[in-house]
Amino acid sequence: MDLRARIRADLQAACSQGDGHRAATLRLIAAAVRDRDRALHAAGRDGGLTDAELREILAVLAQRRRATAASFEENGRLEQAAEKTAEAEVIEELLPRPMRSGDIDATIGATLARLGAHNLRDIGRVMAALRPQLDGHIPPAELKARVRARLE
């Protein structure tokens, strides 16, 4: 199930279960996605957002909620802080779980061995093989830095 379909399914489930807070947060997510879709359409790019772009939007939304919650806590507004923290948790449920550093290194090592990559000239092939496996678990720039370090 793609991320957009999961958001819709979670929204329907929250509404049918009477979970108003979760439903409201999922509606905010759907509105943010819809706004970005419309902006892309106006810019001439049809087809909607990719899952990677959706994950990026979700990460930004969660980060904003966490920052707002911290600000509320600093100012003694604990009720609002708890609300924003709960929203961030709902958003983060939709994001992939980050992989442990050791798991990422093991995946990189296995891919290097499978492809027989030994020097920096092979970095393109390695990255092309790793991106689908690690998409959403590690930022591409960090992945490239790790691969580069292993190939040097």
Q: What is the mean pLDDT of residues 8-24?
A: 94
> Average pLDDT, whole number, for the chain?
90
Domains of the chain, start order = 3-93 (1.10.1510.10), 101-151 (1.10.10.410)
- What pLDDT, on the 0 to 100 scale, is given for residue 43? 87
- What pLDDT, on the 0 to 100 scale, is given for residue 87? 95
pLDDT > 80? residue 47: no
- What pLDDT, on the 0 to 100 scale, is given for residue 67? 95
> Per residue in 79-116, pLDDT tens?
999 999 999 999 999 988 778 888 899 999 999 999 99
Spatial separation of the C-alpha atoms in residues 140 and 129, rounded to whole Å? 13
> Per residue in 27-42, pLDDT tens?
999 999 999 989 988 8
- Pick from 17-31, 39-53, 94-108, 138-152 the range whose average pLDDT is largest: 17-31
**Inter-residue contact 151 to 118 (CB < 8 Å):** yes
Determine what percent of the chain is predicted with pLDDT higher than 90.
59
3-state class of 152 per DSSP?
Answer: coil
The phi-psi region of residue 28 (left if phi > 0; otherwise alpha if psi is between -120 and 50; otherwise beta) is alpha
Could you tell me which of 118, 119, 115 has the C-alpha nearest to residue 130? 115
3-state class of 119 per DSSP?
Answer: coil
- What pLDDT, on the 0 to 100 scale, is given for residue 1? 63
User: Residues 91-113, buried b or exposed e (16+ Cβ, 10 A)?
Assistant: bbebeeeebeeeebeebbeebbe
Spatial separation of the C-alpha atoms in residues 54 and 51, rounded to whole Å? 5
pTM given for the model: 0.70
